[in-house]
A and B are shown apart, each in its own frame.
Chain A
Amino acid sequence: VLTQSPTTMTASPGEKVTITCRSSSSVNHMHWYQQKPGASPKPWIYGTSKLASGVPDRFSGRGSGTSYSLTINTMEAEDAATYYCQQWNYPWTFGGGTKLELK
């Protein structure tokens, strides 16, 4: 089971944002996806810390074992979205999502 926190949050432009994903058992890597309303999810961070193609470098990922995080160094309007973590191995479980809104 993957537990994301917070479930919902708001951030002002320029603010630093951190989303956490905790696993009930140790996993080797975590992936992250971004989804905006009415759109398909997009790969965002893979292998815990690698940015997918086109992802701004204000995003970063880190973690190990049972605790992982996605950080936005300085929030921008286009970053408002829902972010999901996903464990890298079977059963490829997704976290419940974190809805990030612009303040």
Chain B
Amino acid sequence: EVQLVESGGGLVQPGRSLKLSCEASGYTFSYYGMAWVRQAPSKGLEWVASISTGGVSIYYRDSVKGRFTISRDNAKNTQYLQMDSLRSEDTATYYCARRGTGRGGDFDYWGQGVMVTVSS
């Protein structure tokens, strides 16, 4: 059974940093691209960042470029999201998602989400 388990969320002051982790199990982690998607309270889904299987291809939404860094460790079956210079507008539930293969790259498995609150 595919499982994605996020951790690392919490309350942080504006301008500070936080690092999220997503541990995958139930499949060969290195075979799949991964992504982070966030959802502000009572708002819609917002794609944040994606990383390819080997970590060579990386993409970010404009509002987090230069502040967030996505990475992965295939030996540990884990992807990460390093979030620096956090702003109040980064407050959201952050979901880890797997990019499906052979189906147009949709996000075919999601974690349960982890809450990040940026507030003084």
Contacts and interface: CB of A to CB of B under 8 A. Distances in A.
Contacts, number: 62
Interface residues of B, number: 22
A33 B103 CA distance: 14
A46 B113 contact: no
Contacts of A41: 37, 45, 95, 107, 110
A63 interface: no
Contact of B47 (A40, A47, A94): A94
A52 interface: yes
B106 to A, nearest CB: 4
A29 B112 CA distance: 26
Contact-residue size bin, chain A (C-beta under 8 Å from the other chain)? 20 to 34
3 pairs of A and B residues whose beta carbons are closest in the complex:
A31-B106, A46-B106, A47-B104
Interface of A: 29, 31, 33, 35, 40-43, 46-48, 50, 52, 84, 86, 88-97
Interface of B: 35, 37, 44-47, 50, 59, 61, 95, 100, 103-113
